[in-house]
Amino acid sequence: MGALHQGHLDLVKRSKENCDTTVVSIFVNPTQFNNPEDFAKYPQSLNDDLALLNTEGADYVFTPSVETMYPQKPQMTLDFGPLEQVLEGAFRPGHFNGVGLVVSKLFHLIQPHIAFFGQKDLQQVAIIKRLVLDLSFPIEIQTIPTRREKDGLAMSSRNRRLDAVSREKSLLLFHSLSWAREELLNGADWLEVQQKVIRNFKQTDGVALEYFDLVGTESFEILKAFDHNQKSSLCVAAEVGKVRLIDNLSVNA
């Protein structure tokens, strides 16, 4: 959705390594925002984005208007079942319907052979994989690892809205994920780990935790216990200052 950072450019780089032609779409999609204020404040920097993509060697950039993508208000909805009823789906009703609609449109218009998405939006990746499977899109989905700042914060366009104090407090997300993963791999009980993280967030002013959960990496089923033999990931969402941030970390995926 624009306001590009190195994480986005990693997708472009991987595409150029695997494909003859690389197409980048930039579109702040209104149908996936359940909060109008969040949509209005979403950072946009198209000229800077185009300069970065030119340097990176993208072949085409598709920057449609809202009127182009939605000449009429969409009437249909997409229901991803249990996959969208937890975490981001639970806290952002209608979000994944909007994601599914716009990605379907982009797939139809561009007709890629391979599409690249970042691991930071792990639940979104699962949604898109389900979309491709259920609608028989002849597209391979590749997931690219999360690009992080030197201190561990997951790169995000929303980070631009963090002031200095909130930027420092935002590290609680990554530190909590890293600590919890280490505890689980060392045999700690998941529910006890989860409760310690929740208490830590409650004790930190200016940070409001929405969820901190262990999920099956592919199914996104909420897990009540950690199993070394099951692919799982830790997922977190929190409001830091007035900026909503998400992150995740694979435990044994």
Region 59-64 average pLDDT: 98
Region 183-190 average pLDDT: 98
For 172, the token pair is: 């609680």
- Which candidate, 127, 152, 164, places its Cα nearest to that of 247? 152
**Sign of the torsion angle spanned by Cα atoms 114, 117, 122, 124:** negative
Neighbours of 235 (CB within 10 A): 23
Region 179-192 average pLDDT: 98
d(CA 99, CA 30): 10
Judge: domain 157-250, CATH 3.30.1300.10: yes
Q: What is the dihedral of CA 4, 9, 12, 13, to 10 degrees?
A: 170
- Which candidate, 90, 41, 35, places its Cα nearest to that of 235? 90
Q: C-alpha angle 69/72/73, rounded to 5°?
A: 95
pLDDT(96) > 80 = yes
Residue 61 one-letter amino acid? V
Quick: pLDDT tens for 193-241.
999 999 999 999 999 999 999 999 989 999 999 999 999 999 999 999 9
**For helices 171-185 and 190-202, what crossing angle results, to 10°?**
160
Shared fold status for 6-144 and 157-250: no
**What whole-number percentage of the chain has pLDDT above 70?**
100
pLDDT(114) > 80 = yes
Region 152-171 average pLDDT: 96
d(CA 111, CA 194): 42
How confident is residue 46, by pLDDT bands cut at 50, 70 and 90? very high
- In this structure, are residues 144 and 108 in contact, taking their beta carbons and an 8 Å threshold? no
Predicted confidence at residue 200, as pLDDT, reads 98
CATH of 6-144, one of 3.40.50.720, 3.40.50.170, 3.40.50.620, 3.40.50.12780: 3.40.50.620
How confident is residue 35, by pLDDT bands cut at 50, 70 and 90? confident
Residue boundaries of the structural domains of the chain: 6-144, 157-250
- In this structure, are residues 25 and 1 in contact, taking their beta carbons and an 8 Å threshold? no
Q: What mean pLDDT value characterizes the chain? A: 96
Burial class (CB in 10 A: 0-12, 13-18, 19+), 164: exposed
Active site residues: 8
pLDDT(141) > 80 = yes
Q: How far is CA 96 from the centre of its chain?
A: 11
How confident is residue 253, by pLDDT bands cut at 50, 70 and 90? low
